[in-house]
Structure 1
């Protein structure tokens, strides 16, 4: 109930009035039943605009701190993120990825829509980066379709490193559902998982028009940060990201 109050009575009308988001292909999202919504990730406001364009609730995972902070502020924060369709996940320790997959499996098993950013983090330069294979594993284990999504213009509304940029009309494009039932039983084959993930990322690239970079976004960010440092400070460039889920906690 709080979700609908938040979306349609408070947050939704305000965002629609100010930004007038545009939607393309929303008919590709099923009116009932589970589906994975796999999107590019340009800004921290992506999770607001994409669900706003659909009549159904979309659930994401969010860091547990949003739900456990003490005091009045913590209470309102918990209500906000719970109402906005996010569920807590502990990002500490080696079980964080498994916890995210478990939460996603539960949500899809209940017939819900689960939102995921296969890149695993926001793009720092507007380009589309290599997807992590958690989205493929999730699709095979739950046997549900993957709907590729492109959100365009949110990096103008809230650019990387800034709380707010400029008012523009974001566009949310929903692609046709992708069916990977032909790979049933191969969820532990890393080559199949990579192939599925690359197919999803290709569709996102086609919808968004972004330049694709065959590198994990975390690696690209580290290289960009290193290139901005003064020469000779002795700092090594971190290695390539080894995570595989892409189930990012916002």
Structure 2
């Protein structure tokens, strides 16, 4: 109930009135049944504006710590994240990546929409980076379509590293559903997973108009930080840490 309270009463109407987000392709999102919404990630505001343009609930995964912190602050945090359409990562599967897959499959098995950012983290410079193959594995294991999504302008409203930016009208574009049933049973083939992920990222690039960089966003951030910090005394090797 809190999700719908935020969306239709407490928060959503204000966002619609102030920012007047525009949407195209909403008809590509099914009226009912499960689907994966795979989006670019420019700003922390993405998870506000993308679900705002749909009548259905969109669920994302969030760190389990957001749901387990003690005290009044922990309760408020849990209430907000749970009510705003996020579920904790299920750590019973081991690491965070495996836990996110478990949580996502549970959401999809209930016939819901699941939102995911294949880049894994926000873009620091507005470019679109290489997608991680978890989205492909999720699509094959859950046997549901993937809808590519582009959210544009949120990095102006809420730029990385800042709380507020400048006013603009964000745009949300939903592409046509991608069906990967032809790869059924091949979820353990890393070449297939990479091919599927690249196809999804291509569609996101086409919708968003972003420049694509064939590098993980986390690695790009490391290189950018190393360049901005400059060489230190005795440092001959530069940035050498590899992205996971």
TM above 0.5, one fold? yes
Alignment size in residue pairs: 242
Tell me which residue corresponds to 1:80: 80
Tell me which residue corresponds to 1:246: none
The secondary structure found in structure 2 opposite 1:194 is: helix
- Asked if 1:151 corresponds to 2:151, the answer is yes
The secondary structure found in structure 1 opposite 2:156 is: helix
Tell me which residue corresponds to 1:109: 109
Distance in structure 2 (CA, Å) of the matches to 1:222 and 1:50:
28
Within-5 A mapping of 1:134-149: 134-149=134-149
Cα pair 2:231 2:238 within 8 Å, conserved: no
Cα pair 2:90 2:102 within 8 Å, conserved: no
Distance in structure 1 (CA, Å) of the matches to 2:144 and 2:97:
19
Tell me which residue corresponds to 1:248: none
Cα pair 1:218 1:240 within 8 Å, conserved: no
| Change over 3 Å in CA distance of 1:238–1:18 after alignment to 2 | farther
Tell me which residue corresponds to 1:181: 181
Cα pair 1:41 1:119 within 8 Å, conserved: yes
CA deviations on 1:40-62 (whole Å, 9 max, x unpaired) are 00001100100011011100001
Deviation at 1:77, TM superposition (A): 1.7
Cα pair 1:148 1:177 within 8 Å, conserved: yes
The secondary structure found in structure 1 opposite 2:119 is: coil
Tell me which residue corresponds to 2:59: 59
Tell me which residue corresponds to 1:193: 193
Q: Among residues 233, 241, 245, which one is paired with 2:243 in the alignment?
A: 241
Distance in structure 2 (CA, Å) of the matches to 1:225 and 1:87:
31
Moved more, 108-117 or 81-90: 81-90
Cα pair 1:2 1:83 within 8 Å, conserved: yes
The secondary structure found in structure 1 opposite 2:105 is: helix
- Asked if 1:21 corresponds to 2:21, the answer is yes
The secondary structure found in structure 1 opposite 2:172 is: strand
Distance in structure 2 (CA, Å) of the matches to 1:240 and 1:8:
44
**Structure 1, unaligned runs of 5 or more:** 243-250
Deviation at 1:113, TM superposition (A): 0.4
Tell me which residue corresponds to 1:131: 131
Deviation at 1:236, TM superposition (A): 4.9
CA deviations on 1:42-98 (whole Å, 9 max, x unpaired) are 00110010001101110000112222223323222211111110011268x961111
Cα pair 2:90 2:103 within 8 Å, conserved: no
The secondary structure found in structure 2 opposite 1:192 is: helix
The secondary structure found in structure 1 opposite 2:77 is: helix
